[in-house]
Structure 1
């Protein structure tokens, strides 16, 4: 069981790693025959991030059989801290090894840096996506969602998403000691898509967990959000090359 894979845009994996640093204790990595993925669940089980890159997006993808490893979070993040859009990142693992070799190669100046990321001896089961029907779905520019999360975080610790057919939009509400926040998201202002199977619904989510994943949204121009009453919030988007990010945040009761 061995793997050697090279991805041409190191900055993408760097952003994912930095976001995970504030969410998880360790980095669970799966290198299967057809894709590289990180499937991470926060210790309190409130947030989950599924990040995948198809094998065809790699410059080199040599995998003998599926590899499942748990990388040390801090060392994994450190190995990618200098990765940029011009850097290729190579991951190399040999069966039975206790470290993941990470090589960051800058094409422009022909400089390569190599890191050895410690691995846990603990095995894990793949998480996979959540199979749940969410009544409200919408698309919007990622920058708009980032702005909303930033504004809400100034006010309180909880964000409410309220959909009503009468409003034909999604109201975002937050309250706190410093005041309150409210905005309405409608078709074309700024939603590019809106659909609901119910006439009314409301859900509440932790602002702290939303802040932790906000930087991931910078990877895409547009994202999708889905939610339902007392159900998790799903945020998803695609990155150039077929890569996908799926974020789940459990509701607050």
Structure 2
């Protein structure tokens, strides 16, 4: 049983929008630490973790920990109705079949109530991923979104490699080819690599799924290694954060 609320609707909207993009069922865990979402995409190719500390919320009342599997379409509809300056309150009582989301506009006094169906069960990932990655890159989310969209016009695969402290991105299609080189101050903010020869390939379809939920104008950290999953981390307000793990291509 819990009641949590936040005065900035855009923050709640951001959290759930990130989760909705790769998942069919949203596993919401609420504990004394805060909110945690750890889920895996239906094809098992994307794992996502979102952590939001309890101190971020203006109200965080919890009588017992809860693990809920939320219906994606209901949550998607509720999130669409949230505006930036609206207060959002989320409530759950043990045994409820729905999560109650109340959206209140302090300017107009209008209150909207959205009920989000709770599934009896859902799929959970076997656990978190703990892999040492050779390369770490910082760039803006806008840069990543632009790169993915550009490569998508060429083929369904993006190859990333590190050469002489530069990030090279390559894609080869049936009719076109895409090559670009990024370095610190030109496309990326920083590049750190433990090896001078790091190459890995990733599905554009998976990357397109991820960027759907990533907010614009955000500094993100990307990690990858030879034939290892790609890690995308984006910090959120108040110490919250979201991490995506994307499976590599052979």
- Check whether the contact 1:220–1:239 (CA below 8 A) recurs between aligned residues: no
3-state SS of the aligned residue for 2:206?
helix
Equivalence map 1:48-87=2 (5 Å) = 48-87=47-86
Equivalence map 1:106-185=2 (5 Å) = 106-122=105-121, 129-164=128-163, 167-185=164-182
Which residue does 2:191 correspond to in 1? 194
- 1:138-176 CA-to-partner distances (Å, cap 9, x unmatched) read 111221111111111111111111112xx3211111122
Identify which range, 173-182 or 41-50, moves more after superposition. Answer: 173-182
Quote the offset at 1:27 in angstroms. Answer: 0.9
- 1:17-55 CA-to-partner distances (Å, cap 9, x unmatched) read 345444222111011111112222101110112112111
- Check whether the contact 1:238–1:245 (CA below 8 A) recurs between aligned residues: yes
How many pairs were matched up?
A: 250
- Check whether the contact 1:39–1:127 (CA below 8 A) recurs between aligned residues: no
**TM-score between the two structures when normalised by the length of structure 2:** 0.93
Quote the offset at 1:65 in angstroms. Answer: 2.3
Which residue does 2:101 correspond to in 1? 102
Quote the offset at 1:240 in angstroms. Answer: 2.1
3-state SS of the aligned residue for 1:134?
coil
Gaps of at least 5 residues in structure 1 are: none
**TM-score between the two structures when normalised by the length of structure 1:** 0.92
Quote the offset at 1:127 in angstroms. Answer: 5.8
3-state SS of the aligned residue for 2:133?
coil
Q: 1:247 aligns with which of 232, 244, 247?
A: 244
3-state SS of the aligned residue for 1:218?
coil
Q: Aligned-pair RMSD on alpha carbons?
A: 1.8
